[in-house]
Structure 1
Amino acid sequence: MTEIGNTGAAVVDRADGRPDGEEWAENYEQLPGGAGVSLIFESTTKEGVGPRLHKHPYPETFIIRRGSATFVVDTEEVVGHAGQIIVVPAETPHKFRTGPDGYEAVHIHENPTFETVWLE
């Protein structure tokens, strides 16, 4: 992390030091500047990858940049693809599995730390 002057703003670099956004899979909590969110950067070329059923006490937003994933949100199934945003409300059980062309997305947790209740 690099602070920008005395503004409280900061630049957070990739942990692996790469200067690009390719194959970037990383979790971020307690972001500087009082951001109030946690982030998951997910990038894979594998099909069938994803977390088991879980929920959070806050909303989670998925910004899908490449590929697709089949989401189960409560009892509904939806295929999300590049160019879409999926918002899962607080306390709603959800999971996903990546599609045949992989998946790249930013997951935004509306909380400074991850709070997850695993349901399976």
Structure 2
Amino acid sequence: MHIKRPEKTRPECIQNLLALRDSLELLGGKWKLLIVLHISCRPKELLHFKKLEKEITGISAKMLSKELKILEENKIVTRTVQNTRPVTVTYTLTTYGQTLIPIADALQQWGLHHRKIIKGK
């Protein structure tokens, strides 16, 4: 299937490639979109750090902390410190972060299709 795209001028192409690079730089890697989707699946639940670490198979505490910090700095997740003993920190998607859900869903659908193509089914 070939999708016809409108031709762009060189400056438009460069600007679009830079925007794509920015997106990939932020969201690239193994964990960020998985974290976003995991949080989005439970919008009414308080998701604290230890729960995320336990439920996202294979991620270390150090990596989860690093990725959550990047997502927070980029206004994709909100970090809330609960006034409990011991202190509990919870994470939710921002309204802006929720705009990633259709993108992640599209990538997921593409991945399912790709698996079928590769496996010949």
Shared fold per TM-score greater than 0.5: no
Higher percent of residues as helix: 2
Higher percent of residues as strand: 1
TM class by shorter chain equals under 0.3
